Structure formats: structure tokens, C-alpha cells
């Protein structure tokens, strides 16, 4: 994905970072997948992926990766004996 | 005093001990695995993760009266766990190693000293599981970035919930997530290629 570019306003000399469309796409794509995009961002995103196969592909890959990642990193369970220990400790707290 | 209102919001205050405990357990125990997963990813040690989760439950029980049933129980517990990690475990890990003589005495005075030498196969299997490249990449991130990824991508918390759990503004949640994802991608690039994924 392309990087942010820094532009300088000739009149004021003020520097500002601007993002290319694809950088903006990545930002909005994460918001969409996270369920945090507002209506305007959703609309912009839908229009963008309908006109860019590369961006659509990137979106699909990102969703696949997220699922894969979640599956790989959500595999731990609390040992049963520790759960029983917690219950016992809670019970003893109650009677103190 | 607004005790009447508060009691209406928090019915647990009016319960007797067994009912209160039953309510606590049914409200929070369903999140024990998610909490353990989070704890493990923070401390990267099974025993410490067990201790951290136990500590979280005991603290939550102590402050149960301040919890409003029907609100976000999972986020409430995650916040307590995160605070316990910062206040207790992070501090402890920065201190020089300490020996707990009570533990040693207990171990040597117990009848089953020999049983401690037995290899726990469950632990070995767990180690194999978490030896996976993807989990390793996550575990190798700085703890703040790791936390952001876990809360959002694994546990599915909203940015607002994350901001409350982590005590940071939503803008910081967004930027931390952005940076965390870039770092994770970087770490996973080689692994992805070997698994047949392209850039």
C-alpha cells in the first residue's frame, strides 16, 4: 500500500500530511471490518470496492486473515481445576 | 443518600450470601476462558495467567456492589484484569526475584513432594499449541499493541469499550490498533509466504 505524502503550502509554508486513496482505503477498511465506520465511510468504502478489483481483493484477504488469526489466538482455556479453585475461594470469602 | 436508587440498580446488594455468590458466578464465570486467554497473552506464563485471573475474580467479587447488572460484564472484568496486570504483575516482574519461604516450606512438608516431578502432559500440549507462528507473532508485540489487537480482533470489543478498558481516548485506540496491525503484519509476512499467501 502507498505511503503518506507530505505537502507544503506555498503561501504559508505549512506542512501537512496527505494520504493517497489506497492509504485511506486501508484505514476505512479496518473501520468497516471492526464495525466502526460511520455511514459516510461505509458509503465511500462500498463505492471504492465496486470500482477497484485490487481493493476488493485486499478486503477479502484481510477478512480471511482476521478469521485465521482469531482462530489461532483464541485457543486457550482456563484449566478446570483452577476454575474450581476460584469457586472455592469465592465461597470461602462469602462465609468470612 | 441515594441508597434506594442504587439498590434498585444493583439488586445484588439485597441478596443473601448464597444468592449473591450464585449471581456473581452466573454473571462472570462465562468469561473465564476469554479472561484466561487475555491474561496469558499479557503475562506469557500459565501460572501467572492463572494467578491473574483468580486475582481478577476475587477483586471483582470485592467490588461486586459497584457493578450494575445488565451492563457490560465482560468489559468490566477485562478492565479489572488489565488494572491488576498493570498494578501488580508489571510491578512484580520489574522487581528482583523473590523467594516465598512459605511456599517452600509448604512444598517440602507436603506428602506428595515426588508428584511435583511428574511431567504435566496437558501443559506440554498447551505449549505446542501456543508455539504456533501466529500466536508467537502476537506474543512478540509490545504489550500495549498486543492488548489492542487482543481486545479488538480476538475479543471483538468496540473502540468505545476498549477506550474504557484501557483508560485511553478513542483516538488513541484507533492509532494504537493501526500501528499494532502494521507491526503484526510485518512479523507475519515471512510466515504468510511459507503458508502460500502472497503480499
pLDDT in tens, chain A (96 residues): 334 556 566 667 777 665 444 778 999 999 999 999 999 999 999 998 998 888 898 899 899 989 888 888 877 888 899 999 998 888 887 654
Partners of A75 on chain B (C-beta within 8 Å) are: 37, 129-130
**Domain ranges, ordered by start, for chain A:** 5-95
**Domain ranges, ordered by start, for chain B:** 15-97, 132-199
- Please give the average per-residue pLDDT across B3-17, as a whole number: 62
How far B159 CA lies from chain A's nearest CA (Å)?
A: 8
Residue B57 has its nearest CB partner, among A69, A76, A90, at: A90
SS3 of residue B181 by DSSP: helix
pLDDT exceeds 80 at position B98: no
Encode burial over B102-123: b for 16+ CB neighbours within 10 A, e otherwise.
eeeeeeeeeeeeeeeeeeeeee
Q: In terms of CA atoms, which chain A residue is nearest residue B160?
A: A36
Model pTM score: 0.73
CATH of span B132-199: 1.10.10.10
How far A81 CA lies from chain B's nearest CA (Å)?
A: 10
What is the ipTM for the molecules in this complex?
A: 0.73
* N-to-C CA span, chain A: 60
pLDDT exceeds 50 at position B107: no
How far B37 CA lies from chain A's nearest CA (Å)?
A: 5
Residue B135 has its nearest CB partner, among A35, A72, A78, at: A72
Give the CA angle between residues B138, B143, B145 to the nearest 5°: 65
**pLDDT at position A11, please?**
65
Partners of A95 on chain B (C-beta within 8 Å) are: 17
Q: What is the pLDDT of residues B127-171, one digit of tens each?
A: 344 347 888 889 899 999 999 999 999 999 999 999 999 999 999
CA atoms lying within 13 Å on the CB side of residue B104:
4
CATH topology of domain B15-97: Rna Polymerase Sigma Factor; Chain: A (1.10.1740)
Separation between Cα atoms, residue B36 and residue B156, nearest integer Å: 16
Separation between Cα atoms, residue B60 and residue A39, nearest integer Å: 38
Select from A50, A17, A48, A6 the least CA-distant residue to A31. Answer: A48
Amino acid at each position: 500500500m502507498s505511503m503518506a505524502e507530505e505537502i507544503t503550502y506555498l503561501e504559508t509554508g505549512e506542512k501537512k500530511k496527505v494520504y493517497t486513496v489506497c492509504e485511506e482505503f486501508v484505514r476505512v477498511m479496518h473501520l468497516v471490518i471492526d464495525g466502526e465506520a460511520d455511514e459516510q465511510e461505509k458509503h465511500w468504502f462500498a463505492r471504492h470496492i465496486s470500482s477497484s478489483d485490487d481493493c476488493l481483493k485486499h478486503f477479502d484477504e484481510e477478512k480471511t486473515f482476521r478469521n485465521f488469526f482469531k482462530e489461532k489466538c483464541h485457543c486457550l482455556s482456563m484449566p478446570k481445576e483452577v476454575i474450581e479453585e476460584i469457586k472455592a475461594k469465592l465461597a470461602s470469602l462469602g462465609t468470612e | 443518600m441515594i441508597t434506594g436508587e442504587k439498590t434498585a440498580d444493583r439488586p445484588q446488594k439485597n441478596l443473601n450470601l448464597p444468592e449473591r455468590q450464585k449471581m456473581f458466578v452466573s454473571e462472570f464465570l462465562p468469561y473465564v476462558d476469554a479472561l484466561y486467554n487475555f491474561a496469558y497473552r499479557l503475562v506469557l506464563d500459565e501460572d501467572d495467567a492463572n494467578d491473574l485471573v483468580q486475582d481478577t475474580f476475587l477483586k471483582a467479587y470485592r467490588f461486586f456492589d459497584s457493578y450494575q447488572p445488565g451492563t457490560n460484564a465482560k468489559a468490566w472484568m477485562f478492565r479489572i484484569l488489565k488494572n491488576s496486570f498493570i498494578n501488580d504483575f508489571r510491578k512484580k516482574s520489574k522487581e528482583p526475584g523473590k523467594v516465598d519461604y512459605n511456599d517452600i516450606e509448604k512444598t517440602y512438608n507436603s506428602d506428595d513432594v515426588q508428584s511435583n516431578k511428574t511431567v504435566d502432559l496437558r501443559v506440554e500440549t498447551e505449549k505446542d499449541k501456543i508455539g504456533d507462528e501466529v500466536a508467537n507473532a502476537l506474543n512478540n508485540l509490545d504489550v500495549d499493541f498486543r492488548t489492542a489487537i487482543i481486545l479488538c480482533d480476538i475479543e471483538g470489543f468496540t473502540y468505545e469499550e476498549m477506550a474504557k478498558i484501557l483508560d485511553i481516548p478513542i483516538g488513541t485506540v484507533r492509532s494504537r490498533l493501526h500501528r499494532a496491525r502494521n507491526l503484526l503484519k510485518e512479523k507475519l509476512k515471512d510466515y504468510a509466504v511459507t503458508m502460500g499467501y502472497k503480499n
